[in-house]
Amino acid sequence: MIPPEDKIKQLNIKLPNAPNPVANYVPIVQTGNLLFVSGNGPGLKHDRTAFSGKPGFSISEEDAIAASYSVGINILSQVKKHTGSLNNVSGVIRVFGMINSTHDFKNHSKIIDACSNLFTEIFAEDGIHSRTSIGMGSLPFQIPVEIETIFELKSE
């Protein structure tokens, strides 16, 4: 298996600075070898505008998928900031994806797959995880997707 830090370089992924919390919470709580990563939203699009809207209504599914991938990148940035290196991660345990969707939207899993696929690409079989993808009536700042995760660290 290629170490996660090497895989990120190989894929030419640039991790941004970890985003700061936008309310009264901490980005990560560690208990033992588990990291509980707070919900993250997407970064900015390539044109430096914000992802916003409800998939299938006011934002395309393609843009919502790109937002989910962007959330995955933000999560990796948080984990790297906390641990010093993604090579310290032994696995992705859980992904909880929330989609800002209309009542009749059906492709929640397709959107969260972008984040899940990123994790399995970086961590290989250690990136395979349990997951929930659900629709929400709204999300903060009208972001299309928010994802929280649980990671496991290698034993010291």
pLDDT, position 137: 93
pLDDT, position 69: 97
pLDDT, position 63: 93
- pTM assigned to the model: 0.95
Along the chain (156 residues), what's the average pLDDT of each consecutive run of 10 residues?
95 91 93 97 79 90 95 96 97 98 94 98 97 95 96 91
What are the structural domains of the chain? Answer: 4-13+29-153 (3.30.1330.40)
Contacts with 8 (C-beta within 8 Å, 6 or more apart), sequence order: 15, 76, 86, 122
Do residues 67 and 112 make contact, with C-beta atoms less than 8 angstroms apart?
A: no
What tokens does 156 get?
């010291």
pLDDT, position 43: 83
Do residues 44 and 107 make contact, with C-beta atoms less than 8 angstroms apart?
A: no
Do residues 83 and 148 make contact, with C-beta atoms less than 8 angstroms apart?
A: no
pLDDT, position 1: 80
The whole-angstrom separation of Cα 75 and Cα 146 is 10
E strands present in 3-156: 28-31, 34-40, 89-100, 130-136, 145-153
Please give the angle made by the CA atoms of 114, 119 and 124, to the nearest 5 degrees.
125
pLDDT, position 81: 97
The whole-angstrom separation of Cα 90 and Cα 153 is 5
pLDDT, position 20: 84
